[in-house]
Amino acid sequence: MKKISMKWLATASHIDGPYGGDMSKPAQEKKATVYDIARIAGVSASTVSRILNGSAKVAEDKRLAVEEAIRELNFRPNLMAQYLKTGQSMTLGVLTQYVDSPFSNEMLRGVENALQGLEYAPLIASGHWNAEEEVERLRLLIARRVDGIIILTGHVNQQTLLEFSQQVPMVATGHNINTERVRSFSINNRLGGYMATRYLLDLGHRQIAHIIGLPDQSDAIERHHGYRQALVSSGIEYDPELVVQGDFAEAGGLNAVKQLVASGKNFSAIFCANDQTCYGAILGLKQCGFRVPEDVSLIGFDDLPFSIYSNPPLTTVRQPIYETGITLVNTLLGLIENTEIPPVELPELSIVVRDTTMPYNANNS
């Protein structure tokens, strides 16, 4: 067998291809510059820079020519250079709790859609419902030079928000604070808890159980207060043995229902602190031999996208999760760009009736 010279192989690996160039290395496209854009658009490089930075008004015909050249060259600005020049990184920090949370994902969908077509990109961090971890994530986001921060609920207290807002503008859900540097949004969770319980009462249910959310979470506490208020207003004595601790998650709903059944207490309906709790509660009831809604009616809170596909489809209190995500972005951009922020009017809470509730039937109790 003829031996191939290793020297020849070493040389062959650097032979130019039929169109020239080094075959051992992929061809690299030349990165477009503002000067390339200026040449194609027929304007000065300074005019291109002003349009990219939005630092001055430019004639409409010149702006259109520059935008067309940018598309033609597939130009991407140097973000680091842009930050050094303008002081903006064009990124927004987003502090959520769990990236796998259906609730957070729905709000993040609103955030993402509100940012479509804009130069800003989100940078997401998770706090895992731990106040110390949330503070560390906020510090991390600020260290990454984000232009503003969106907080999707959590345990960060108001004083901490005020302190961090001196470094970067912020918007948050689940708080009640409004300054020139931080704005917050919250729904009336007490009203929502009242509405859910009132709906079950109007169906004739009187022994209504409640699975609470996280014990130190304001949303859960307020929904529980709404539940109690609805019972009292109907002349029904509050029974703490019908109230079971959950954790806003499916497993918590499953375990809470099994605990409720094991207690031997009679109940014909359950108000769950959120939809995810309801998903677990439905499974737990079925495992214990109960039919939904023939034996036990259930109502949730949130109206997550999956709730229409649960088995059965879930009756729930709808809150504007997606719309809140959009509002958070629009408000934060107003704070960053120092523009007037119009009054915010989120959709009101409403009951979405599906198949997990029905009128009370004494024969099934």
Alpha helix (H) residue ranges in 177-320: 189-202, 218-233, 250-262, 275-287
Residue 305: cis peptide before it, omega within 30 degrees of 0: no
Q: Provide, rounded to the nearest whole percent, the portion of the chain with pLDDT above 90.
A: 58
pLDDT tier at 60 (50, 70, 90 boundaries)? confident
Residue 293: cis peptide before it, omega within 30 degrees of 0: yes
pLDDT tier at 192 (50, 70, 90 boundaries)? very high
- Residue 14, pLDDT > 60, answer no
d(CA 7, CA 334): 66
pLDDT tier at 4 (50, 70, 90 boundaries)? very low
- Between residues 254 and 84, which one has the greater pLDDT? 254
Alpha helix (H) residue ranges in the chain: 6-12, 34-41, 45-53, 60-73, 79-86, 102-115, 131-143, 158-164, 189-202, 218-233, 250-262, 275-287, 321-336
Task: Give me the amino acid identity at 338.
Answer: N
pLDDT tier at 5 (50, 70, 90 boundaries)? very low
Question: Where is mean pLDDT largest: 158-167, 199-208, 331-340?
Answer: 199-208
Range with lowest mean pLDDT among 112-116, 230-234, 277-281: 112-116
The vertex-275 CA angle with 157 and 109, nearest 5°, equals 70
pTM of the model: 0.76
pLDDT value at position 343?
A: 75
pLDDT tier at 67 (50, 70, 90 boundaries)? confident
pLDDT value at position 66?
A: 84
Closest of 238, 220, 219 to residue 228, by C-alpha: 238
For the chain, the first-to-last Cα distance in angstroms comes to 91
pLDDT value at position 182?
A: 92
- pLDDT (average), residues 69-77: 79
pLDDT in tens, 161-177: 999 999 999 999 988 88
Task: Judge contact between 200 and 212, C-beta under 8 A.
Answer: no
CA distances from 264 to 236, 255, 363 (A): 20, 15, 18
3-class secondary-structure state, position 305: helix
d(CA 153, CA 328): 12
Contacts of 13 (CB under 8 A, 6+ apart): 23, 24
- Between residues 290 and 36, which one has the greater pLDDT? 290
pLDDT value at position 38?
A: 84
Determine which helix (DSSP H) or strand (DSSP E) holds 289, and give its type and residue range: none
Contacts of 140 (CB under 8 A, 6+ apart): 125
pLDDT value at position 70?
A: 82
pLDDT value at position 78?
A: 60
Range with lowest mean pLDDT among 23-37, 117-131, 325-339: 23-37
- pLDDT (average), residues 175-196: 92
pLDDT in tens, 242-251: 999 999 999 9
- pLDDT (average), residues 31-45: 81
Phi, psi for residue 212 in degrees, rounded to 5: -80, 160
Residue 161 DSSP label = H
